């Protein structure tokens, strides 16, 4: 029942957001100014949600500035570039991003077993650990009987369908 409620809530959020931004169709907006294209430096506000409506990131939080990046430069995931491309300043769009255009599918080779002796003392299932190289892993399981732990090095959003509600704030003029 909880799962059904969350799914219905997510659909309601998407419908309300679409209604608030005129259906999310940038091409229907009356703005005739320049549109974001590959190579443009842009500033955008965004909110990223999962299919169940969970917000995983937002530039709209208090004190955060718009995200600045160059479209199609590899600075953001492909699906985010797609969300911004074609928008004029002030326009919004809700973009569904499949794993292939996001953080990829879950890679089973990125789930490894290590000796629990290699883990920091007090490590628990669900903890996120960082290596000396900046790699982060999530502890999936700890088996004291075998002395092994299972770690997942996949990006936390791997395998997830995401929705980005983006607003183009500015196309930064070339200097």
Nearest to 106 by CA among 148, 161, 54: 161
State the Cα–Cα distance between residues 97 and 161, nearest whole angstrom.
6
Closest C-alpha to 26, from 82, 99, 100: 82
Sequential pLDDT tens for the chain (175 residues): 444 334 434 433 433 343 444 444 444 445 778 999 999 999 999 999 999 999 999 999 988 999 999 999 999 999 999 999 999 999 999 999 999 999 999 999 999 999 999 999 999 999 999 977 888 999 999 999 999 999 999 999 999 999 999 999 999 987 7
Give pLDDT, residue 60: 95
Task: List 97's β-bridge partners, or say none.
Answer: 162
CB 6 within 8 A of CB 83: no
pLDDT at residue 42, as a whole number: 98
Name residues whose C-beta falls within 8 Å of residue 137's C-beta, 6 or more positions apart in sequence: 128, 129, 131, 151, 152, 153
Exposure string for 140-164, b = 16+ CB within 10 A, e = fewer: eebeeeeeebbbbebbebbebebbb
Sign of CA dihedral 165, 54, 158, 116: positive
Question: What pLDDT, on the 0 to 100 scale, is given for residue 20?
Answer: 42
For each of the domains in the chain, give its residue range(s) and CATH number, in order of start: 2-103+162-172 (3.10.50.40), 108-152 (2.40.10)
pLDDT of amino acid 26:
44
Residue 135's pLDDT is what? Answer: 86
Residue with tokens 């299972």: 150
**Cα-flanking dihedrals φ and ψ of residue 85, to 5°?**
-55, 130
Which residues have CB under 8 Å from 173's CB, separation 6+? Answer: none
């Amino acid at each position: 029942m909880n799962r059904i409620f969350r799914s219905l809530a997510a659909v309601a959020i998407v419908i309300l957001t679409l209604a608030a931004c005129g259906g999310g169709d940038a091409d229907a907006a009356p703005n005739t100014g320049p549109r974001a294209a590959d190579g443009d430096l842009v500033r955008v506000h965004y909110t990223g949600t999962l299919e169940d409506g969970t917000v995983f990131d937002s530039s709209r939080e208090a004190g955060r500035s718009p995200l600045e990046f160059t479209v199609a430069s590899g600075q953001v995931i492909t699906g985010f570039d797609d969300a911004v491309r074609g928008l004029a300043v002030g326009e919004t769009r809700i973009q569904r991003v499949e794993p292939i255009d996001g953080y990829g599918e879950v890679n089973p080779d990125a789930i490894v077993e290590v000796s629990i002796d290699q883990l920091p003392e007090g490590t628990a299932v669900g903890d996120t650990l960082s290596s000396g190289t900046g790699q982060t892993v999530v502890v999936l399981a700890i088996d004291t009987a075998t002395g092994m732990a299972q770690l997942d090095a996949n990006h936390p959003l791997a395998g997830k369908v995401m929705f980005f509600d983006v607003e183009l704030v500015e196309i930064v003029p070339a200097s």
